[in-house]
Structure 1
Amino acid sequence: MTGSQGPSRTVTRRTVVAAVGGAGLAAVALTACGSSDDGGQSVADKSPGATGGTTGGTTGGGAAAGKEVAKTADIPEGGGKVIGDVVVTQPKPGEFKAFSSKCTHQGCAVKGISDGVINCPCHNSQFSVEDGSVKKGPATSPLPPASITVDGGSIRLA
């Protein structure tokens, strides 16, 4: 074939692989560091009846209702304990609360509870042990409440 088709350019396999890999890394970076502050909840968790504390709501992560998650003696006064998909707190003597252990900023699992706050290790958000409200961002939404019942010395998912 003759004519003016323009200069010929050869694209190597290495160039294609590098371009595709770079695009994939950019997509992962944008997803991991995006600021979609949807409360860290799935669509199913946003149901109108998702309220809680000790009276109703979600148990988080498909945990089995009725399952014992802790003994009351295991939960320190003014503090709490992360147990799987929930964090159980005792803000005042004999008062127990439960919340999702999934941070509402980026969905990381909260870890430690100290000085009346639930701490997220990923971006240092802090939440109140009393009501799950945000004490320090970057999270802007409270931890969703989880339903528990206290029967004697046993704390169970409701």
Structure 2
Amino acid sequence: MAAAPQDAWSAADLTKALDAIDAKIGAPPADCMNVTAQLAAVNHDQERSVVVGMLTPGKDKSMTTYTYDPQSQAVSVAEAFVALTPEQAAQRIFKCDTVSPQVLVRVQGAVLGDAGTPGGSLMGVGAVKNLKDTTPVIEAVVMVDKGKGLSKTVRYDLTGKLVS
């Protein structure tokens, strides 16, 4: 297995982040659309964080994101537009607690080797349930060529087994 990135999350830190988000939501286990542990700046202004996105109750095409900042240990809340019909959005929902911090940590350590991109850098790893999926999957995004903005997504099942 390849070495985990230098700024990789530990299982304890991910658990702490997800517990803080659960406390902010106030009704664990929450129904979510994504759970993401970001390692690298995606938009150059984004720091290492854990983000959970869920549908905003009573609002079509709206998602509430809960973002944990490991520096301040605070959880911020924001709303975002979701370009999905209510039916499509409902198909993407899964229980946040189905995502194991230990599995996300194993994926962090394996993804560069699994992606065949030893010179790449891991941007983030998280769980989503795409419209074509019947269960959530873990997706890890690797920046292959930062200059050209080329990235590769590697998919795993919830046990951490490589899918594609």
Q: Which has the larger radius of gyration?
A: 1
Q: Which has the higher contact order (CA 8 A, sep 6+)?
A: 1
**Structure with higher strand content:** 2
